[in-house]
Amino acid sequence: MSKKSRSKLWFLVHSWLALPIWFFVLIVCVTGTLAVVSQEIVWLANPDIRADKPADDTELLSYDQIIKAMNRAEPDLIVTDLIRHDESHFALMARVTYPDGRAVTVYVNPYTGVIQGISPSFNFEQFTRALHGWWLVPFTNGYSWGWYLVSFLGLPMLASLVTGLVVYKRFWKGFFKPTLRFKHGARIFWGDFHRLSGIWSIWFIAVISITGTWFLIEATLSDNQITISTAPIVPVISRDKVPMSDPGVPAPMMPIDEAIRIATERIPGLETTFITLPSTAYSHLSIGGRGWYPLMFQTAEINPYNGEIASSHLLSDRSALEFVTESMRPLHTGDFGGLWIKLIWAFFGLLLSMMVLSGLLIWSKRTALATLHAFKRNNKAQRQAEHSQATPALQTETPEGIR
C-alpha cells in the first residue's frame, strides 16, 4: 500500500471513530428538546397536576386560604413550601411533612385548596432533565462527570456555528432566497436542509452554546469553592426578639398574606410566586418571584412576627456579572415567558436535532462511499500487484525462440 493510500485509510478510521460523538450530540439535542416541554407532557398525562376551575368566575385562593384548606383535609400535615407556576393551568405545588417523618410534594388545586395527588420522587420531567443535563450520572462529590461531559459540548457547538458561517459564504441570502430542493435526491435535500435550518437557527445555536459553556464554567467554579454571588447571609432571629405567648411558647406568626403585603409595599415590583415557611421559631419567612426582568428572581426574608424585612436580594442588588450569569439557565431552558416561549424553544430544539441528524446522514454517506472506494482501490492495487508478479514467471517458462 502506498503512503497516500495509508493516509486515506487512517483518515477513514478517524472519521468512523467520530460516529459515537455524533450520536451523543444527537441524543443530547433530542433530550434537551423534550426537557423544555417536559412539564407540559406531564400535564397532559397526569390530571393531578392540572388546575381546573370549579366555575368560570372562581378566583385563586390566597396562600393563607390554601394552607387552611389543606389543614382542614389533613390536620397533621405541616406545609413547608408553596410554589405557584407561571402558567395558570398548572396546580400549585406544596412541600409537606407528616408526623411519621414523610416529606413529599403534593399537587394542590389553587382554586379550592384540595390536594389532588402526590408528585413522584422522580417523574418524567426530572428524568428528561437529568438525562439531558448530566446523563443520570450521580453527584457524589461536587458536579458529576456527566455534567462536565454534556456542558463541554457548548464549546464545539459554538465553534461549529462560527466555522459554518465562515464556510457558507453570504449566508444572509438564505433569509431572502431559501432553497430546499426535494427532487434532486436525498444528498441534495439534506444538504439544503442543513444549511437552511442552520441559517434560521443562528440565534438559537448561539444561545444554547454560550449558556452550555457557562454551565461548564459554573461547575468548575463551584467544585473549586469559588462564588460570584452577592446574595446576603441571613442571620436567624435572636432569642430576645422572639415574642412569647406563654413562658417558653413562641407567639404565632402573623398571617402569610399580611407579611407578603407588607413586603410588597416596601419593595416595589416584588411579586410572590413561592414561599418557604419558617422551620423554627428563629427562622424567617422567605418569599420570592420574578420582577420586571423575567430571567431572574427577587427574594426577601421577612420576620414572621412583625413583618420586618431582614434582608432582600433584588435586581438592583445584583452585579453586572450576576445579571449575565443568572440569566443563563432560563435562556437555556426557555423557562421564563410561559408556554409560547417554551414552544419556540422546543421548535428550534427540534430543528437543531434535525440539523445534527442531517449532518450525520451526510457525513455517514460520504464516509461510507469513501470507505467503499478505498476498498475497491486497495483490491485493484492488490490484483495489479499479483498480475505483475505472475507475468515475469510466465515469460521465464516460454521457449527461448518465443522471447
Residue range 304-332, pLDDT digits in tens: 999 999 999 999 999 999 999 999 999 99
Looking at the predicted structure, is the pLDDT value of residue 115 above 90?
yes
66 or 241, higher pLDDT? 66
- Contacts of residue 43, defined as CB under 8 A and 6 or more positions apart, other chains included, come to 49, 50, 89, 90
Looking at the predicted structure, is the pLDDT value of residue 11 above 70?
no
Q: What is the pLDDT of residue 254?
A: 94
Q: What is the pLDDT of residue 7?
A: 57
pLDDT-derived band at 8 (thresholds 50, 70, 90) equals low
Looking at the predicted structure, is the pLDDT value of residue 16 above 70?
no
Overall average pLDDT of the 74-82 stretch:
94
Q: Which of 108, 120, 128, 104 is nearest to 52 (CA)?
A: 108
| Concatenated DSSP letters of 105-143 | EEEE-TTT--EEEE--SS-HHHHHHHHHHHTT---SSSS
Mean pLDDT score of the chain: 86
Cα 218 to the chain's mean position, in Å? 14
Q: Tell me how far apart the alpha carbons of residues 269 and 289 are, in angstroms, rounded to a whole number.
A: 10
Residue 92: burial class (beta carbons within 10 Å; 0-12, 13-18, 19+): buried
DSSP state of 365: H
Overall average pLDDT of the 342-346 stretch:
97
| Cα maximum dimension of the chain | 132
378 or 179, higher pLDDT? 179
Cβ atoms of residues 373 and 8 within 8 Å: no
Provide the grid cell at 399.
521457449
Q: Tell me how far apart the alpha carbons of residues 190 and 199 are, in angstroms, rounded to a whole number.
A: 14
Q: What is the pLDDT of residue 168?
A: 76
Q: Tell me how far apart the alpha carbons of residues 331 and 336 are, in angstroms, rounded to a whole number.
A: 8
Cβ atoms of residues 273 and 86 within 8 Å: yes
Provide the grid cell at 293.
426582568
- Contacts of residue 132, defined as CB under 8 A and 6 or more positions apart, other chains included, come to 28, 31, 32, 34, 35, 150
Overall average pLDDT of the 66-87 stretch:
94
pLDDT-derived band at 255 (thresholds 50, 70, 90) equals very high
Q: What is the pLDDT of residue 401?
A: 46
Cβ atoms of residues 344 and 334 within 8 Å: yes
Q: Write b or e for each residue in 114-152: b if 16 or more Cβ atoms lie within 10 A of its Cβ, otherwise e.
A: ebbeebeeeebbebbbbbbbbbebeeeeebbebbbebbe
Cα 364 to the chain's mean position, in Å? 29
Q: Which of 40, 43, 22, 106 is nearest to 333 (CA)?
A: 40
Provide the grid cell at 18.
467520530
Least confident of 105-119, 133-147, 154-168, 282-296: 154-168
Q: Which of 329, 321, 332, 324 is nearest to 207 (CA)?
A: 332
User: Partners of 300 in the beta sheet?
Assistant: 287, 312
Q: What percent of the chain stands above pLDDT 90? A: 58
Highest mean pLDDT of the ranges 7-21, 162-176, 252-266: 252-266
Highest mean pLDDT of the ranges 13-17, 135-139, 197-201: 135-139
Cβ atoms of residues 289 and 275 within 8 Å: no
pLDDT-derived band at 402 (thresholds 50, 70, 90) equals very low
